[in-house]
Structure 1
Amino acid sequence: MRSTAAVRLLTVAAGCAALLLLPGSATAAPTPKPPVSPSPPDGTVNIDVGGVQPSQSITIIILLTLLSIAPSLLLMTTSFTKVFVVLSITRNALGLSNVPPNQVIAGLALFVSLFIMSPVIGEVNDVGLQPYLRGEKSQSVAFKDGVQPLETFMLKQTRKDEIALFTKIADRPLPKNKDDVPLTTLVPAFILSELRAAFIIGFVIYIPFLVIDMVVSAALMSLGMMMLPPVTIALPFKLLLFVLVNGWGLILTALVASYH
């Protein structure tokens, strides 16, 4: 009997201990809060830029935008297109398909373009960028003054026929003077003028190499070597002629002189 009573006493004590270890069972469940209706939107968006002033934020956005379109600006508003096309035509005239590679030609065209455009870039920096950084001009005024040297450069290299062509396509009246030509008309007209000039220079470059091909072809035909490709025989003579006359120097000198 004593053992049975002891067992019951231990069972009751264990149950009390279990109740003490479960606090959620001793307290009442919390009353759930009623749902809150969402507030209507006020139509505004708050952007945190980390304490940066709005003017600085706009400047950063403009700089990032300019960096993203820099390749297009390089192709459309500088001498890069003309220099690159002329160098590529020279490589094809020599009969070399991959020598020098495109990366070398693009790099050479880039630095030659920087050499040609250095006066224009310096003027843009002096009249547009530096006054804006010093706070002397607003963004719109700095942009207008900075674009002016670039417009002057493009107008000098653009033919009137191309300007008239794009003005007619846009269904606009012909500008009375060069200052009235908008950028949307000037830029494509400038590109067409550059391509035309590049093809003319390429035609002149092709003539001596074409003569070498014809002479080698005629010599092989007279010797009965019709199965021997004339291009393979003519290539060493082309390279020799190009090196003897300092071909790269002549071409680059002519390209730079065409902008002065």
Structure 2
Amino acid sequence: MRRSAEILILALCLLGTAWFAHPALAAPPQPVETPAVQAPDVRPPTVQTPSERPGGSSPNDSSVAVRISSDAPALSRTVLIVLLLTIGAVAPAILLLMTSFTRYVVVLSLARNGLGLQGIPPNQVLIGLALFMTFFTMGPVFSQVNEAALQPALEGRITTSTAIERGFAPLRTFMLEHVDPEDLRMFLDASDARPQGPSEVPASALVPAFVISELRRAFTIGFLVFLPFLVIDLVVSSVLMSLGMVMVPPVVISLPLKLLLFVLVDGWGLLVSSLVTSVTRG
């Protein structure tokens, strides 16, 4: 123990001698000067009064001059293109509402549902068939629109607004021939419009009244198409119940019978001819 203390004292003495022998170690560290960071010279914004503006204006002049950048024409063209694309996407649907397309596509869809075929024929086939039926029945109306509005507008003889007015006239006549007077009166009363003649009936009242009338006729025809299929379903269900075949789905028996009946009576031809006749003969 005594020897360890002597060794510790000797080590302390050697450490003190080495400390004082080197002044660089004994002197306290000098502070390091860091370069000063100068703040940027920020000048406050100056506001020119009307008297300090070039050209000199009166102190009472409180008008604000708005400068339109050179990007304004480009922005206007962009908005115009967007509007044209939107109108181009909506216009076909609006035009179809003014034709017999609504009646055709609804009746064909109801006939498919009555057969029990959810995806056959596909929607594309039904819509294509309805479109061609529309072009067939609306051919005279489209010819009048072409002669009265489209061709003169393409040749530059009339303006766009005049072409729209002339082109809507045959469509207005067609819709007035097939619209239900009660539906038209309802929309005229709602819009507080009092037209003095057929040519003054506003499109905002005529088009929805015509669509409702077409939907009513389409559902009426669809109900008549559904009746034979409903009878077959009831008969098949009653027979299966009487035979005790409760576990057999009725659609397994009724679907082939409905398809057979539809093919034997030439269902598609009869349905299409009836629809076309209902439009052409009013």
TM-score (norm 2): 0.69
Q: Which residue of 1 aligns with 2:73?
A: 47
Match for residue 181 of structure 2 among 157, 160, 165: 160
SS in structure 2 of the partner of residue 258 of structure 1: helix
- Structure 1 position 111, deviation (Å): 1.8
Q: Residue 184 of structure 2: SS of its match in structure 1? A: helix
Structure 1 position 145 matched with structure 2 position 166? yes
Q: Does 1:170 align with 2:196?
A: no
2:134 equivalent in structure 1: 113
1:201 and 2:227 are equivalent in the alignment: no
Shift of 1:63: 6.8
Asked if 1:80 corresponds to 2:101, the answer is: yes
**How many angstroms apart in 2 are the aligned matches of 1:115 and 1:88?**
19
Residue of structure 2 aligned with 1:219, choices 195, 217, 239:
239
Give the alignment's Cα RMSD to 1 decimal.
Answer: 2.8
The residue type equivalent to 1:172 in the other structure is A
Indicate whether 1:241 and 2:269 are aligned. no
What is the letter of the counterpart of residue 199 of structure 1? Answer: F
Amino acid in structure 2 at the alignment position of 1:245: V
C-alpha change, 1:92 and 1:215, in structure 2 (3 Å) is same
Deviation at 1:42, TM superposition (A): 4.4
Deviations 1:75-112 (A, max 9, x none): 42121111110011000100111111212212221222
Identity %: 50
TM superposition shift of 1:244:
0.8
Structure 1 residue 232, shift from structure 2 partner: 1.8
Q: How does 1:64-79 map to 2 (within 5 A)?
A: 64=85, 66-79=87-100
Give distance in 1, aligned partners of 2:118 and 2:160.
Answer: 47
Runs of 4+ off more than 3 Å: 39-48, 60-66
Equivalent pair of 1:209/1:238 in contact (CA under 8 Å): yes
Whole-angstrom CA distance in 2 between matches of 1:248 and 1:79: 18
Q: Please report how far the alpha carbon of residue 177 of structure 1 lies from its aligned counterpart in structure 2 after TM superposition.
A: 3.5
Deviation at 1:113, TM superposition (A): 1.4
Pair 178,44 (structure 1): closer, same or farther in 2 beyond 3 Å: farther
**2:121 alignment counterpart:** 100
Alignment-mate amino acid for residue 199 of structure 2: D
CA distance 1:153–1:105, shift in 2 (3 Å): same
1:210 alignment counterpart: 230
Paired residue secondary structure (2:119): coil
Residue 227 of structure 1 and its aligned partner are, at CA, apart by 2.0
* Match in the other structure for 1:27: none
> Partner amino acid for 2:115?
L
Q: Distance in 1 between matches of 2:177 and 2:112?
A: 28
**TM-score, normalised relative to structure 1:** 0.74
Structure 2: gaps (5+ residues): 1-47, 49-53, 55-64, 75-79
Larger of the two Rg values belongs to structure: 2
AA aligned opposite 1:183: A
Deviation at 1:148, TM superposition (A): 0.4
Q: Taking structure 1 as reference, are residues 67 and 191 closer, same or farther at Cα in structure 2, changes over 3 Å only?
A: same
Instruction: Tell me the amino acid that sits aligned with residue 162 of structure 1.
Output: D
CA-to-partner distance for each residue in 1:104-139, whole Å, 9 max, x for gaps?
A: 212221222122222211111110010111122122
Q: For each residue in 1:157-208, what CA deviation from the matched residue of structure 2 results, as whole angstroms up to 9, or x when unmatched?
A: 10101001111222334x3432221100000001000000000100110111
Gaps of 5+ in 1: 1-36, 49-57
Contact residue 128 and residue 146 of structure 1 kept, 8 A: yes
Q: What is the deviation of 1:249?
A: 0.7
Paired residue for 2:148, among 127, 139, 143? 127
Aligned AA for 2:206? L
- Measured in 2, the distance between the counterparts of 1:114 and 1:182 equals 25
Separation of aligned partners in 2, 1:107 and 1:125: 23
Mapped to 2, the partners of 1:185 and 1:204 lie a distance apart of 29
